[in-house]
Structure 1
Amino acid sequence: MTDPIRWGILGAANFALKHMAPAIHTAKGAKLAALATSSAEKADPFREFCPDLKVYESYDQLLADPDIDAVYIPLPNSLHVEWAKKVLNAGKHVLCEKPIAMKADEINELIALRDATGLLAAEAYMIVHHPQWQRVKELVAEGGIGELRHVNGLFTYDNSADPGNIRNKPGTGGGGIPDIGVYTFGSTRFVTGQEPQSVSAHVTWENGVDVKAEVNAQFNGFSFFSVLSMRMQPWQEMVFHGTKGVIRLSAPFNPLVFGEARIEHRRNDGSTVVETFPSANHYVLQVEAFCNSVRTGAPYAWTLENARGTQKMIDQVFAAAN
């Protein structure tokens, strides 16, 4: 039997506790082995489902553990590049939360280090591992909606009542565009394989972070429009509109939380085909894909080059808004 990939986590982030730690613990071929946190109390909830979890008081102590194969980073955005480089230099594979960098050029350093070490380094862009997105990519590629002419994306939530949230702090790389722009921008790029030719944007700022953005972009043959906000009623939706059909995803980014993963495919004859994916957990699928790539060398669905493309679009949005 092949030994599982042994994972460590840097920091007891709430997102790690709710989603990624359970996913690593559940995923086939993976074992949640260690957590680094200076707070013993923060480690307790992790130990409730992983009793044999090894807990380190510092990140460096975890990186020095020779039994750890891969490290997941859920730290604030501004720390991602620094610690991803440290993980790779420690000889371990790294899966880092999105956005993996604050500027596209920073990802070049990670690509060079990935290539020099031969280790797997990736952004935790989980949606590409979900079957609903793989199916949408397939449908568009095979002409299921004819020629794609427009993509519309919405992703909003309201954290105005939580001023201490890292997304509301400029010093930690906060803001709505880095947090959720990766989804509407990246999913469009994933499905079409294209990069924007031009970008324009209107951004609303509050206390040094973007809280609402309206983004227009022109790709080869189709237009793109997205609304992103941290100050609106929670909503998410993606629509791919072609010459012979329309595809709509009603829970594109947080299925099992916002709603059921569901593809509505309205065809040229007026009929609508609905496909649902009620049990797929993209966090678990992401970990399993990562472990498989580490073990077998199989291509990973979201490379650092993919992440750099989305970050470049984010950079373009900020440049256009300014």
Structure 2
Amino acid sequence: MNGNVSRGGADKKRLKSPSSKTRKPLPADCREFKQLRWGILYDRCAAISKHFLLALKSCPRSQLVAIACPDTDRVQPIADELEVEKVYGCYDDLLEDKAIDGVYIAVSNSLHAELAKKTVKGGKHCLVEKPLATKVSDVIELEQLAKEANVIIAEGYAHLYHPQYHAIKQEIKSGCIGDVSHMYGNFDLHAKNNNNNNNKSVIDRKGADSDIGAIWNIGCYPVSMMVGIVGKCPLKVSAVKQKGQRGEDVKMIGWMNFDENVIGSISASITCPTNTYFEIVGTKGRMRLHKDWCFHPDSWNTTNSFELVMEGQPSKEVTVLCQNVFRSEILSFEASVLDGKRAVVPLTLSKDIVATVEALCTSADSDGIPVRPYIVNSTKDT
């Protein structure tokens, strides 16, 4: 298969990847760019989101230039529909394309860190679909590489960019539910095709459980909410899991002890009917997100609201700004790259999330023995 397929049909000569040491550093505020020119990395095992691509096309300061996928036949119809100029059959070809400023990585979880490192070393900005990595050591390395190359790297927990998340944090800050006491989070997603042949290409890769298991694919959503709300990594965690035929976690239940006052519990399953739920319990009230897609507000034209219950008062629905969750993510990334704005989901938060999930996995592998996450930075100031 030809490594490069363009809309004009011409082959593209492979270029040597520019070194971050020789590439002219970008200005600190990146204001010289009027548009952010995007390339998308995709593989057949990842659930590429057409919603993300449509949101990208709706952002006037973004331009979708190219998609790279080893299976070009799979993405060519999408590229034709969205009038994408180039389709590459090789990731390196896209990463070497000088017409691209930023890359969105939407591949199997076990490949995220590896391709993010290549992207950043090549001097390109990088937005990585969650999780950014499955080891906190990789996040630390990516942070250093991005600093050396003077580029932006961010993790794509889309719900953390949405007005719903910020409205929840604002209500907590107001004191209306008192001090946070404990939190519950659930994400079940019935993976009907979890055992299909499309996953075989990554089953033997190191860390491939992260591609097909529950915690790294969906359980990380409630974990990310809890870590973001509390503003720090838990002091210790424990978890138990049920294994599937390949040894992956098809179900996991975890507990997190943030301090002497705040605890959290999460559950995730890829064998149960689809359902999501999140609740924050305070000393004077509680908040509940209980619709089917509470971690993807507005993505499927759902009403964006959450329930607020305060002591001695009737419950009320709090409705926030409707904005496509992926568009929120893209606009934030644009602002960081083009305007020099502070990241909405900074790497300090990503490190705490990855450290927490990594510790939950370690505990589950040890039949629930408590584990202290590798804490590298607090997200308290984010």
Please confirm whether the aligned pair reaches a TM-score higher than 0.5, indicating the same fold.
Answer: yes
Decide whether the 8 Å contact of 1:201 with 1:320 is kept in 2: yes
Q: 1:53 aligns with which of 75, 80, 85?
A: 85
Q: Which residue of 1 aligns with 2:237?
A: 199
Deviation at 1:94, TM superposition (A): 0.5
Higher normalized helix content (fraction of residues):
1
Q: 1:253: which partner in 2?
A: 295
Letter in 1 for 2:34: D
What residue identity is the alignment partner of 1:6? Answer: R
Aligned residue identity for 1:218? N
Match 2:252 to one of 213, 224, 229 = 213
TM-superposed CA distance for 1:152, in Å, is 0.5
- Whether the 8 Å CA contact 2:136–2:355 is kept in 1: the answer is yes
**Matched positions, count:** 322
Task: Give, in angstroms, the shift of residue 44 of structure 1.
Answer: 2.8
* Structure 2 counterpart of 1:110: 142
Alpha-carbon distance in 2 for matches of 1:95, 1:161: 27
Which residue of 1 is the match for residue 153 of structure 2?
A: 121
1:297 partner letter: G
Deviation at 1:282, TM superposition (A): 1.2
Provide closer, same or farther for how the CA distance between residues 170 and 103 of structure 1 changes in structure 2, counting only shifts above 3 A. Answer: farther
User: Displacement of 1:169 after TM fit?
Assistant: 4.4
Deviations 1:115-153 (A, max 9, x none): 111100111111111111110011112212111111000
Q: 2:76–2:87: 8 Å Cα contact kept in structure 1? A: no
Question: 1:91: how far off?
Answer: 1.0
Match of 1:243 among 283, 287, 304: 283
State the Cα deviation string for residues 184-227 of structure 1 (Å, max 9, x = none).
Answer: 11111112213211211111111211011111111121121111
The structure with the largest alpha-carbon Rg is 2
Partner of 2:52: 20
Query: Within 2, Cα distance between the matches of 1:144 and 1:274?
Result: 14
Q: Deviation at 1:37?
A: 2.5
Query: Corresponding residue for 2:42?
Result: 11
Give, in angstroms, the shift of residue 16 of structure 1: 2.8
- Larger strand fraction of residues: 1
Secondary structure at the aligned position of 2:164 is classed as: helix
Task: Give the whole-Å Cα distance in 1 for the aligned partners of 2:43 and 2:271.
Answer: 26
Q: Distance in 2 between matches of 1:3 and 1:311?
A: 33
- Matched residue type, 1:301: V
The 2-side partners of 1:216 and 1:113 are apart by 33
Moved more, 278-287 or 165-174: 165-174
Deviation of 1:229 after TM superposition, in Å, equals: 0.7
Q: Partners of 1:123 and 1:61 in 2: how far apart?
A: 23
Aligned pair in 2 of structure 1 residues 108, 169: CA closer, same or farther (>3 Å)?
Answer: same
In structure 2, what is the Cα distance between the partners aligned to 1:12 and 1:103?
21
Is the 8 Å Cα contact of residues 27 and 285 (structure 1) preserved in structure 2? no
Alpha-carbon distance between aligned partners in 1 of 2:55 and 2:162, rounded to the nearest angstrom: 14
Secondary structure of the structure 2 residue equivalent to 1:27? coil
13-22 vs 289-298, which moves further: 13-22
Q: Which of 328, 331, 349 in structure 2 is aligned with 1:306?
A: 349
* Deviation, structure 1 residue 48: 4.1
CA contact (8 A) 1:264 1:273 kept: yes
Q: Which residue of 1 aligns with 2:317?
A: 274
Tell me the SS of whatever aligns to 1:233: coil
Name the CA shift for 1:116/1:11 in 2 (closer, same or farther; >3 Å).
Answer: same
Distance 1:52 1:318 in 2: 39
**Distance in structure 2 (CA, Å) of the matches to 1:224 and 1:241:** 10
> Using the alignment, how far apart are the partners of 1:142 and 1:36 within structure 2?
46
SS in 1 for 2:278: strand
Partner of 2:190: 158
Secondary structure of 2:343's partner?
A: coil
What TM-score does the superposition give when structure 2 sets the normalisation length?
0.79
User: Which residue number corresponds to residue 266 of structure 2?
Assistant: 226
Residue 215 of structure 2 is aligned to residue 184 of structure 1? no
Whether contact under 8 Å (2:123, 2:150) holds in the other structure is no
Aligned partners of 2:233 and 2:70: how far apart in 1? 42
Using the TM superposition, name which of 82-91 and 9-18 deviates more. 9-18
Describe the SS at the equivalent of 2:65: strand
Structure 2: where are the runs of 5+ without partners?
1-31, 367-382
Q: Which residue of 2 is the match for residue 68 of structure 1?
A: 100
Q: How do 1:91-110 residues align onto structure 2 when only pairs under 5 Å count? A: 91-110=123-142
**Alignment partner, residue 112 of structure 2:** 80
- Is contact 2:189-2:270 (8 Å) kept? yes
Give TM-score, length-normalised by structure 1.
0.93
Are the counterparts in 2 of residues 17 and 45 from structure 1 also a CA contact under 8 Å? no
Which moves more between the two structures, 1-10 or 141-150? 1-10
Q: Measure how far apart 1:166 and its partner are.
A: 4.1
Equivalent position SS for 2:273 = strand
The alignment partner of 1:16 has SS state of coil
**Alpha-carbon separation, structure 1, partners of 2:193 and 2:66:** 33
One-letter amino acid of the counterpart of residue 257, structure 1:
W
Counterpart residue type for residue 212 of structure 1: K
Which letter maps to 1:275? V
